[in-house]
Structures are given as structure tokens and as C-alpha cells.
Amino acid sequence: MGLNRRTLSPTAAMLATFAIILSACGGGATPAPSISTPGASGGEASASAVAAASLAPCGTVNIAVNPWVGYEADAAVVGYLLQQKLGCTVVKKNIDEQTSWQGFPTGEVDVILENWGHEDLAAKYITADKVAQDLGSNGNEGVIGWYVPKFFVDANPDILTAKTDPTILNKYAAQFKTSESGDKGQILDGDPSFVTNDQGMINGFGLNYKVVYSGSEAASNKAIQAAVDAQKPILVYYYTPNWFSSKVDLVHIEFPAWTPGCDKVATNIKCDYPPYHLNKVVSTKFATSGSPAFTFIQKFKWTNDDQNAVAADITSNGMSDDDAAKKWVDANPSVWQAWMP
């Protein structure tokens, strides 16, 4: 554990505790040093954790961090507050969505902060095995869909009529053609772990397009960046909230709105993606542990703008997770104070 940069080594924890005791004995003239990760013993003595003294000890919280920066922003702020205000030991695990769910029954993972759908996993782990619980919305609204750069919409405004007549896209198929899509237009899909209906939509709408998988979010983002640099057309599977949207101007090409059941036949879908109310999921073990961190995560809720602000600081402004979280926490006390147990 000591080498995990997100936790504190036992030696350092002891030193920190020692320093606090010294400073307390020294007449209290110097404020206690701020500790990034108070251990169970050090935490109780630290000034910041005094408020939490009446609560049960927090213990260790294992947060799954899924591979997109919006999620990293959730984890940055939640992790920062759990450490600083509740004296928890936070362990972040960089894993993908499916592996995160697999971690619930074994205790490898306590919390998923931003879950996008995954009805199959919910059915298994929440309903059938009862090893996880749905803690409701985290406040973020996810939109998945087909996006193009804004300059393209400006030049070809009728592409927006896809909302009523998706076949308008066929008019532009030649412009979205690449070396990978043969004689069809290319819709660039992203990370293999993301949910996609694109082939079903191509079939359902009768589009002259081919799904090309970029293979990773980084590959998609790099392709978007290159297309915007060169002012070339590109059609991508994309989602918001997303830190990258602050760097490039993308417009959502809406299709006929989603209605329940319209995407039931995966190979033939005649509607857009459903809106995603992103939710929090925790392991049953964690939910029944009595940790104040559970109550905190139950109450955690913020907006897409909040998340984008933190995510942009992490990516574009080169801040560390903790620095970006601190900046947001300092600026928005009323928001996070409502989450405190």
C-alpha cells in the first residue's frame, strides 16, 4: 500500500501523526499541517476531521475510476472531500466499467460514481446477486449521439433536419468517406467499452454509412482534433458531459427522439439514443458498513457544468486531480456542504 501514490505509507502516517501531536503540544500557535490522507489513527487528531468526530470512522473507500475524464472529475472531488472532511482513506482504481462491476462482490470496488446504463450488469449484480445497490442520480445528464464539428453545421445547416428525416445524412455520405469506410460515409465509434447502437441505427434509418471503430477514446478525440485543425468533415459517436467539448465545438445531430422500446431490436433501431440519467452504484457491503462515506456518496449530486469545470482543469489546465478538486471545493462550498453526513 505504501507505494500506491494515492494512499499514505505507514511511516508517513506515523510521522504525520507525530507532527500533529507536536504542534498540538506546542501551544497551538501553528495550525496543524493539512494531511492529504489521514490514516485511521492520524485522522481523529487532525483539525479538519474534528467535525466528523461524532461519526463512525470512515475507513477505506475503494472508488472505481472509469476511463473518461468526466468520471475522473467526479472521483477527484469526491475523493478529495472524503479525505479532507471525513478522514477516509481513498483508493482509486483505474479500471473499465465492466471490471468495476465485477469488483463489487469481492470488495475490490465499493463505489461507481458515474454509471451509464448497463442494464445487463445491473440485472446481474443488483437484482439477481444483490451485491450492489443503485444510489440514484449523480446529477449529470448524459447525452450519447452522432456529432459533427460546428463549422460543418454552419456550412450545411440542413443536416439538422435529421431529427425528422435521418436520410438527409446520405446526402453527406461522400463527405464523411475515409480510407476505412470504402464507398460509404464513416461514423467513427469510440472506446470499445462504450454503449453503441450505431449499426442498428444505420440499418433502421437506411443510411449509406459504415461503422468504423477508433478503438479508444483517445483515438477518437485525436481524430476530432485533427479534423477540426484541418477544417475537414468528421462524423463521430460522442457524448456529453465530456471535457473535450470545451476544446472543440461539436454539434449533436439529433435523430427522432427515443421512446421506450424503440431500441429493442438491436439490429434495427429507428430512434436516437435514450437520455442517460447517470447514477451512482455501491456495493452492498459498503452500504451496510455504517461508514459516513456511504451517506456522503448517497447525497453526492452536481451538474454537468460542475463536472466540466473540474475536468477541464485536469486536462487543459494541467492541474492534478487534487488541485482541481480543491479549486472547485473552495469555489462551491454551498454545493458540497449539502452532501455532508
Partner 1 sequence: MTDIAATVQPRFALSLGRVGQLLALGVLFLIAFVVLQGNGTLPHKDDSQVFLTLNGVRDWVDANRSTNPVFVYVLGPIRAAIDGLDGIVTSLLSQASWIGLLAVAGALALAFVSWRTALLVIGSLLAIGLLGLWTETLQTLVLIANSVALSLLIGIPLGILAGRNDRFLAFITPILDFMQIMPTFAYLAPLTLIFLIGPASAVIATLIYAMPPAIRITSLGIRGVPVQTVEAAESLGATDGQVLRKVQLPIARRTIGLAVNQTIMMALSIIVIAALINAPGLGESIIVAIEKLKFGAAVTAGIAIVLLAMVLDRITASASGAGLPAVIAIGPLRVPRRTLRIIALAIAVVGLLGGALASAGSSFPAAWHVSIAKPLDDAVRWVELTFAGLTDALKNGVSAGLLDPIQTVLTTSPWWLVIAAAAGIAAIVNSTRAAVVVAVALVLIVLLQVWEHAMQTLTMVIVSVVLTMAIGIVLGVWAARNRVVSAVLRPINDAAQTLPSFVYLLPALALFGPTRFTAILAAVIYSVPAVVRLVEDGVRGVSPTVIEAATAAGASRLQMIRKVQLPMARRSLLVATNQGVVLVLAMVVLGGLVGAQALGFDVVSGFSQRNFFGRGVAAAIGIVLLGVMLDRITQGTGQRRSVRGVVGRLGVGLNSNRASREA
- Residue 96 lies near partner 1 (rule: CB under 8 A): yes
- By CB under 8 A, name the one of 19, 122, 160, 219 that touches partner 1: 219
* Cell triple for 207: 443510411
* Cell triple for 105: 462482490
The CA distance from 292 to 34, in Å, is 21
For the bound state, the minimum distance from the C-beta of residue 300 to partner 1, rounded and expressed in Å, comes to 23
Instruction: Name the 3-class secondary structure at 230.
Output: helix
- Residue 215 lies near partner 1 (rule: CB under 8 A): yes
Range in contact with partner 1 (rule: CB under 8 A) among 46-54, 87-95, 279-287, 328-336? 87-95
Q: What are the residues facing 92 on neighbouring strands?
A: 63
Say how many CA atoms lie within 13 Å of 209 toward its Cβ.
32
- By CB under 8 A, name the one of 212, 228, 271, 324 that touches partner 1: 212
For the bound state, the minimum distance from the C-beta of residue 15 to partner 1, rounded and expressed in Å, comes to 8
- Residue 67 lies near partner 1 (rule: CB under 8 A): yes
- Residue 314 lies near partner 1 (rule: CB under 8 A): yes
The CA distance from 233 to 120, in Å, is 35
- Residue 19 lies near partner 1 (rule: CB under 8 A): no
Please choose, from the candidates 321, 334, 332, 285, the residue with its C-alpha nearest in 3D space to the C-alpha of residue 72. Answer: 321
Helix axes 321-331, 69-86, angle to 10 degrees: 70
Please choose, from the candidates 44, 34, 54, 42, the residue with its C-alpha nearest in 3D space to the C-alpha of residue 10. Answer: 42
> 6: which residues sit within 8 A by CB, 6+ positions away?
37, 79, 90, 91, 92
- By CB under 8 A, name the one of 74, 97, 114, 313 that touches partner 1: 97
- Residue 95 lies near partner 1 (rule: CB under 8 A): yes
- By CB under 8 A, name the one of 3, 25, 261, 264 that touches partner 1: 3
CB of 24 or CB of 226, closer to partner 1: 226
For the bound state, the minimum distance from the C-beta of residue 292 to partner 1, rounded and expressed in Å, comes to 26
CB of 11 or CB of 334, closer to partner 1: 11
R_g of the chain, CA atoms, integer Å: 23
Say how many CA atoms lie within 13 Å of 273 toward its Cβ.
24
Per-residue interface string for the shown chain with partner 1, residues 159-188, x marking contact by CB under 8 A: -------------------xxx-x-----x
- By CB under 8 A, name the one of 151, 213, 258, 276 that touches partner 1: 213
- Residue 228 lies near partner 1 (rule: CB under 8 A): no
The CA distance from 310 to 335, in Å, is 14
The CA distance from 107 to 88, in Å, is 16
- Residue 256 lies near partner 1 (rule: CB under 8 A): no
Residues that bind partner 1 (CB under 8 A): 1-5, 9-12, 15, 67-69, 93-99, 102-103, 105-106, 108, 120-121, 124, 178-180, 182, 188, 191-193, 212-223, 225-226, 229-230, 314-315
